[in-house]
Structure 1
């Protein structure tokens, strides 16, 4: 069974009860054969595709955010039918929840295979406090002592009991091999679907009724399941308590970045652009022989003529010392918001018992 889904009609009935301060009483588990083929649960469903029977609840509870229950189908009442669909029906006849079930053939009269099918369910539900699972006091769940009398137990390859069965059997909600349960209540199980398996609940940090699920209470004595969303399981190291939480983090470490210093030495500018200085002057007439003098005088108040009286500078270059230098660097953060490994997402579920 891939899980029950809340129907549109069921959601409306629960919301109306919540607003009115009343409750929706779920009284029956209905079951059918899906019209001869597997069904796909549809929230718009109001009836089963092909119902062939129903049964009261042998156990049930409503806790904060979750409802759960158990019903027993007496296979001998419906010989030859194939179980494929299950629904929860209220006292007002509303199909509150609907789900599929793996094809299970109910044996014909006299077939020595099974007498009963025990169906456990659990649903996370908004306004679960407005829902009541009506348990029939005249119908009780199968106990281990009763099962020992009515079903065989398998020890090694030896079968004993009134019936011959092909596989290990369910006894009071537990699968037994010999005298030991195959899977103790409380073990978190990875589950690939969006709804919990029959008789299981998601680990969402919600509370549960310890009186209804005493075996689960042995594993979680606080009456609260751990929230496993986005969490992985770690083998308990010494010094830590079971179920203690550890936040994500990196192992203490450092990073090293080295940038070499380089001596660029001394560089020269490109030669060229020679420049000749000139002196602006005028000729003097103070020659001793009365002629023109080659002497020059500088007078800022007289007209000037350029004369190349200063020798031209040749082409040349300048030296520019650069010397050693360094660069600074920065390491930028990179990565995901938290430390992760390659992974595939599963829902964690736990068996209700």
Structure 2
């Protein structure tokens, strides 16, 4: 199993560069050596061909003939001084299909290797032919090998980076899930204690107002504890009316918001918009988005919640008139731990995104944001 280290990607990239560089140097050196060996073979072939053409009739040409016959790997084109092709061992089927094939290969051979001069009469330098040759199949494969290796290394790096990223995300998820469940567990004991003390307070009629307020706070703490306990578990989705669900959370936040903040819910005239949700977790998302909007407006402004019912999906847009989110930060707002506020853990939007996308199979995103004019978050629920 992969372990994720902060500098893992940089180290992986450096190792890959070193592997590729070493491989290129090694293969280039090997290719040079093989090219040198093939030129020696061609020089031997030229000498054997010269011997066959110039030897007396009774000469033993077995060795020369064997050298000529055994050259089946290196392509050759033999020309005279005027460039006329005298001999070639190129594929006859290719030549039949393309009349220009030999000329094209001759041009390639001229670029690839200098020709070997075949002289028949040392006293007459005009009596000579030229042998042009290309790379053998093995040498070609060797020359292309670094590119194949580069592709394989790149593919390996890509797969490894994906594995590292997924491992990192999985580790983060395990940490947040464990933290959430531990928080819910730790809240259980003091909540039970507070509940017991409330029962004692109820025995005195004069404590009724205090008990009532404590009861509200206790219910709130129980709700928070239950929310945290749901993280990491697959919730049961039930059909609920989004309009009433959102209205309930807006009313809750409105009572706790500054007086200069206005709230508006727009449903395009629909009072009942059903959706499959987990009410406990969905309320948490709306609450986080509303609190985020309040923080962005710093005490005054307007929050508009628009619920749009479509054929295959439903949108809940939460728009504020706050300071907006800079474009450079928009990709980071959903990352765990990211926050522009002095207080808080930076988990609200991260948890909200997880709740919508993992548990509700929907999508939470920034629909739009403009500096000084505000931000709109969109919750998309598929039907």
Q: By the TM > 0.5 criterion, same fold?
A: no
Normalising to structure 2: TM-score of the pair?
0.18
Higher strand proportion: 1
Higher relative contact order (CA 8 A, sep 6+): 1
Between Structure 1 and Structure 2, which shows a larger proportion of helix residues?
Answer: 2
- Which protein shows a greater Rg? 1
